[in-house]
């Protein structure tokens, strides 16, 4: 993988993860944001890179690797943004949208939090690699339809 593409994927994934992490502290939007970062980070990042002209999906392997990288890095910023927001809300106004997660973030040791983040990061990388794989086939399907229309 090209170093410049890897850097672009990482920066975009970190940004998308932070946005989803901030949105997840909102009570009814939290579940949607969690689902969004677990499954839709890779398609968003890949489409943005393709639209910017920085990347092109040439093989399914590229899309799977790019999806896994974007899923793992988005999980890191999602987890830390969510943890900071939840800790601030709980310590200042005693608000918690999920008491179990708030208790874990506030009371658990750092090594346990990092272990959970890495475990969920692997899960997010797996789901986003599948989403990246599906993005590859959907983009190629749309390109084929466009090429057939332009030929006739």
Residue 130 scores a pLDDT above 90:
yes
Distances (CA, A) of 39 to 65, 111, 147, 151: 15, 26, 29, 35
What is d(CA 99, CA 85) in angstroms, rounded to the nearest whole number?
Answer: 14
Residue 152 scores a pLDDT above 70:
no
Q: What is the pLDDT of residue 105?
A: 84
Which residues in 15-46 are b (16+ Cβ under 10 Å) and which e?
Answer: bbbbbbbbbbbeeeebeebbebbbbbbbbbbb
Specify the range with the lowest mean pLDDT, choosing from 37-41, 53-57, 95-99, 108-112: 95-99
Residue 118 scores a pLDDT above 90:
yes
Which residues in 103-119 are b (16+ Cβ under 10 Å) and which e?
Answer: eebeeeeeeeeeeebee
Q: What is the mean pLDDT of residues 68-72?
A: 94
Q: What is the mean pLDDT of residues 45-53?
A: 89
Residue 94 scores a pLDDT above 90:
no
Higher pLDDT, 51 or 96: 51
Global confidence as pTM: 0.86
Residue 86 scores a pLDDT above 90:
no
Q: What is the pLDDT of residue 70?
A: 93
Residue 7 scores a pLDDT above 80:
yes
Q: What is the pLDDT of residue 143?
A: 87
């Amino acid at each position: 993988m090209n170093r410049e593409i890897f850097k672009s994927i990482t920066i975009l994934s970190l940004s998308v993860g932070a946005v989803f992490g901030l949105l997840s502290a909102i009570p009814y939007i939290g579940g949607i944001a969690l689902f969004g970062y677990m499954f839709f980070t890779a398609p968003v990042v890949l489409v943005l890179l393709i639209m910017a002209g920085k990347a092109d999906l040439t093989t399914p392997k590229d899309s799977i690797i790019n999806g896994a990288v974007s899923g793992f890095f988005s999980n890191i910023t999602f987890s830390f943004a969510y943890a900071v927001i939840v800790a601030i809300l709980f310590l200042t106004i005693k608000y918690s949208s999920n008491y179990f997660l708030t208790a874990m973030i506030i009371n658990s040791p750092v090594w346990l939090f990092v272990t959970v983040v890495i475990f969920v990061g692997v899960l997010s990388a797996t789901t986003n690699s599948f989403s990246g794989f599906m993005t590859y086939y959907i983009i190629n399907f749309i390109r084929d339809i466009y090429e057939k229309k332009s030929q006739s």
